[in-house]
Amino acid sequence: MGPATVEPAVLDGAIVVSDGYRLPTRVWPAVGKESYVIVGLHGFNDYSSAFAMPGEWWAERGATTYAYDQRGFGGTVDRGIWPGTGNLVSDLFDVIHAVRARHGETPVYLAGASMGGAVILAAYGTAGGDSAAPREFSTRRAVHPPPLVDGVVLAAPAVWGRATMNPIYRAVLWFTAHIVPGARVSGKNLGITPSDNVEMLRALGRDPLIIKDTRTDAVYGLVNLMDAALEASSRLSVPALVLYGEKDEIIPRGAAGLMAERLDSRHRFALYPNGYHMLFRDLQAEVIWRDVLAWIGDSEASLPSGNLGDESTASGTIRAE
């Protein structure tokens, strides 16, 4: 991949970004009058179908949703190869430009699940107009100010960075990523419950576009991204609604609590007692979908679920266990 050569655009079931790379994209157009556009960013080893359920629900209520396969995931070229945080951030900026070109003055919001939330944090946790993407290997690095969005929703953002990680984990991660980068690891038999929606989890297990065996260097890259996301959380430059489930077994409470402490007071934090990691696809997911649209409509109002608190209360609640 070389320098930017094309204008980002939505073309034939994909968004083509500035270096010519195709990101397969799913769209759920608003039914009737369009009030908002939501751009969805999926989690690690997932792909754009992660937004099928909320996308359909939001469409019935006036929001168009775009969800794209992030570089290295889903139906993209080089699937399974970590693309570098700089590429993920640059792709997001290009996607926003392409979507805005189609929708004019319609408000645009981002919704990131897990790794997708981390990409948003790295992109909009700005310092002097630059993104917080780390200087790891990437074919591109976003150095221009982030494009305008009206707000972001971060659902269980991946912020388990090295600052909150056991030193032994950090050492093993470095060793495997640098000595055997192509080795693959599986998440099977870890005893972790990512969601209470068992049928959905079974369907993901049968889905060929879900990555089941992960390269160790991709895990290392993900941790680099989570480092950047956690570090950037104190400088998040756009209004945010942060969602976290009390039953989340993927992102440790300590990491989520540290992120909540770092958020400034204009951001809102919602804690769901029955929420797992995959909040947009849990059995209670409609509660989350409704809260998201309510916050987009009025970021100062209470949420329909009643789960909204300030960041200091949220961080204390998360860390209390």
pLDDT at 89 (0 to 100): 95
pTM beyond 0.85? yes
pLDDT at 265 (0 to 100): 86
Give burial (CB, 10 Å; 0-12/13-18/19+) of 309: middle
pLDDT at 311 (0 to 100): 47
pLDDT at 175 (0 to 100): 43
Architecture field, domain 9-316 = 3-Layer(aba) Sandwich (3.40)
In terms of phi and psi (left: phi > 0; alpha: psi -120 to 50; beta: otherwise), the region of 251 is: beta
pLDDT at 315 (0 to 100): 46
212: which 2 tokens?
Answer: 């089941």
> What are the tens digits of pLDDT across the range 42-65?
999 999 999 999 999 999 999 999
Question: Which residue positions in the chain have pLDDT lower than 70?
Answer: 1-4, 127-144, 161-191, 309-321
* Residues 6+ positions from 262 with CB-CB distance below 8 Å: 230, 233, 234
pLDDT at 144 (0 to 100): 63
pLDDT at 139 (0 to 100): 56
